[in-house]
Amino acid sequence: MPNYRFGIMQGSEEWLAIRLGIPTASEFDRIITPKKLDLAAASKAYMHKLLAEWMYGAPLEAFVSPWMERGTALESEAVRYYEMERDVETQAIGFVLTDDGMAGASPDRLIGEVAALELKCPALETHVGYMLDPQSLLMEYRMQCQGQLWVCKDREYADLMSYYPGFPAVIVRHYRDDLVRKALDTHIPAFVETMLAARVKLTQAYGELRRERVSAGQRVEASRAAFDEFMNSPIGGVV
């Protein structure tokens, strides 16, 4: 059974820590090509990123766009819209881990015991495009939603909704796709196995590299301390 972690707020320090250094459904398209379902060329760079996080003990700094911030702010409103539209209640979920804890997913909500919900709050022009062609929304997030179903293997389907205030929402449903599932069954465990072997290789070559996990605030303070130390040194300071 998947390991559901409730009571964790997505984006929190605890949420960042639990997904540190492991592949997640939102990034599965960096491991598997969504159309041909082959190993993606981007998988190597993605593995390097995860290894860097594992060694660094914290997520690498990532740019948060205004649209990402807007999506977070609108999430509660989008959830209410979906619940009223489908006459259901949903439950917040922090993170879901596979049995071995080496891959995970973060659906925005769970729907009863049978489904997951993924929300998108894009720019209006993007949303209008989805209104004209709902299939494009289905395909754009195919790997993420199928990845959520792969991790949450007790769920029957995943609903994906594009929401923009004042406009009709676009809701598409992802049922389990056997071809995608087979690709996930093949490529995700192989990716994890290669990544774990790389951890061993790095440790054998360079010694113990993994640092203790630290919070974002601690990283900022450590960076400031290192900068101050450098500026007060004969090299960094004004002679």
The answer to which of 38-52, 109-123, 168-182, 218-232 has the lowest mean pLDDT is 218-232
The model's pTM:
0.84
pLDDT at 216 over 60: no
- Position 14 pLDDT exceeds 70: yes
Q: What are phi and psi of 24, to 5 degrees?
A: -125, 155
Among residues 8, 25, 7, the alpha carbon closest in space to that of 17 is found at 8
Return the bridge partners of 91, or none. 110
Q: What is the pLDDT of residue 73?
A: 75
Q: Give the per-residue pLDDT at 55.
A: 92
Q: Give residue 210's pLDDT band: very low, low, confident or very high (50, 70, 90).
A: low
Q: Is the pLDDT of residue 238 over 50?
A: no
Q: What percent of the chain has pLDDT over 70?
A: 82
Residue 225 has pLDDT above 70, yes or no: no
pLDDT band at 201, cuts 50/70/90? very high
What does pLDDT average to over the chain? 88
Residue appearing with tokens 């190993």: 39
Q: Which residues contact 187 (CB under 8 A, 6 or more apart)?
A: 31, 32, 39
Domains annotated for the chain, with CATH where assigned, are: 3-231 (3.90.320.10)
pLDDT at residue 208 tops 90: no
Average pLDDT over residues 197-206: 93
